Amino acid sequence: MRPLVRILLRHGVAYTEFSEVLRAVFAEVAGDEFGLPGKRQSQSRIAILTGLTRKEVARLVNTNFGRDVDENKRDIHRVARVLVGWHQDPEFTGPYGVPLEVPFESPDGVSFSELVRRYSGDMAPRAMLDELLRVGAVEELGNDWFRVLTRSYIPEKLAPEALERMAKVIESFVTTVEINLKKERPGAGRFERIVLSDQGLSEEQLIEFDLHIRRRGQEFLEELDDWLSGQPAPPEDEKIYTGVGIYHFVRGEKVELEGLESRVNDPERD
């Protein structure tokens, strides 16, 4: 889960948001795929299978497992709540709704610290300010006064296409693992193999290995693509979508493999 959590935190997805998605997925999968033969799946049984309360299950079922929830009513990240409050609260906005510049502390209550207390519960104001400064949502004006620059909290922007690709890669791989965990005999299931460097590699050897994967892996994928492209298209109602993915992993300390693309294309290398 650590790589997934790193991605979520890097792009501003808090635990409360992710846990709500997980609740919905647990309830939907339990309802769709774990019913008893000949019986309609009940909300009570979904609660038993998932560990959710019956009240939570009823809420999720009634909102089409979260799909029908008004975006404005979703529980949002506490950092985002502070930014929204800074743009909407009459005490923190001036003429025409322009957000006020505020001091960190002030005896009259109009301050960044008061804003955080109002919209972020028990979050320490200084920690909140540090995060907003880090992502460029707020700028310091001097003398401990601050101006808000954006209404949105996105630590690092992630293109929708990149998010969709990540989701498809994870879903495809985990689905293959799931099927292979259920296989009853050798040769069943789907192709899934792995090769490991049991004794480890030096950094230079790792770079060479990465180059080798890039060359041979690309060649193999192009060969598969040529084979798939040469097949006649089946009727629409008989189509089965399939594919193969190859990935390189490195465990332990992070290793930066910089400049590999130029080295891959270097004509002086074998």
What pLDDT does 16 receive?
A: 85
**Token pair of 44, please?**
């009570």
Who's near 117: CB < 8 A, 6+ residues apart?
125
Cα–Cα distance measured from residue 268 to residue 18, given in angstroms and rounded to the nearest whole number: 49
Residues 168, 174, 175, 180, CA torsion sign: positive
Task: Decide if 115 contacts 92 (C-beta within 8 A).
Answer: yes
What pLDDT does 33 receive?
A: 92
pLDDT tens for the 270 residues of the chain, in order: 888 888 888 877 888 889 998 999 999 999 999 998 988 899 999 999 999 999 999 999 998 887 876 554 455 578 888 998 999 999 999 988 899 999 999 988 899 999 999 998 788 999 999 989 988 999 999 999 999 999 877 766 667 778 888 889 999 999 999 999 988 888 889 999 999 998 999 989 999 999 999 999 999 999 999 999 999 999 999 999 999 999 998 886 555 555 544 454 554 554
Q: Which of 39, 41, 37, 17 is nearest to 29 (CA)?
A: 41
List Cα–Cα distances, 259 to 206, 211, 227, 243, in angstroms: 14, 11, 32, 29
Task: Decide if 83 contacts 137 (C-beta within 8 A).
Answer: yes
pTM, two decimal places: 0.63
| Burial of residue 148 (number of CB atoms within 10 Å: 0-12, 13-18, 19+) | buried
What pLDDT does 174 receive?
A: 93
